[in-house]
């Protein structure tokens, strides 16, 4: 049996996820510095990095990576933050994730496959060098 979840913890987690979606890098820094896991995941396995990346927030992604978040952690569907950034056309996020160690061939579909699928020729060429 699992223990009941404290409603205050659920509320706090919601605020942290909202900060990732909104790209609030200072708030994310404060939450993680205060002890929130840098790789906190929601019920679909989306990390804070995934949410920030998908919503195009390069500074928030950088802030999380600087605090130990995993650039390659896939969600429950096998999607990585890099593939999400490619899908959304968030080139600044792509750059930050690559600098943070993201693998363009990880995940399903991978960022490389996503770039190919959407005709992002420059990214296909870039990812071919990895």
In this prediction, residue 1 carries a pLDDT of: 61
In this prediction, residue 6 carries a pLDDT of: 84
Per-residue model confidence as pLDDT tens digits over 86-108: 999 999 999 999 999 999 999 99
In this prediction, residue 106 carries a pLDDT of: 97
The answer to whether 40 and 13 are in contact (CB under 8 A) is: yes
Per-residue model confidence as pLDDT tens digits over 71-90: 999 999 999 999 999 999 99
Q: Provide the pLDDT confidence category of residue 9 given band limits of 50, 70 and 90.
A: confident
pTM, entire model = 0.93
What percent of the chain stands above pLDDT 70?
A: 99
Select 7-128's CATH number: 2.30.40.10, 1.25.40.20, 3.40.50.1970, 3.60.15.10.
1.25.40.20
Give the residue-averaged pLDDT of 33-44. 96
What percent of the chain stands above pLDDT 90?
A: 88
């Amino acid at each position: 049996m699992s223990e009941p979840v404290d409603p205050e913890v659920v509320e706090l987690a919601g605020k942290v996820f909202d900060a990732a979606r909104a790209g609030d890098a200072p708030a994310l820094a404060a939450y993680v510095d205060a002890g929130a896991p840098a790789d906190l995941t929601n019920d679909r396995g989306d990390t804070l990095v995934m949410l920030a990346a998908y919503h195009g927030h390069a500074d928030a992604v950088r802030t999380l990576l600087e605090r130990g978040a995993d650039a390659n952690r896939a969600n429950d569907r096998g999607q990585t933050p890099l593939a999400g950034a490619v899908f959304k056309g968030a080139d600044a996020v792509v750059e930050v994730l690559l600098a943070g160690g993201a693998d363009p061939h990880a995940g399903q579909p991978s960022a490389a496959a996503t770039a190919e699928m959407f005709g992002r020729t420059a990214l296909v060429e870039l990812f071919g060098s990895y």
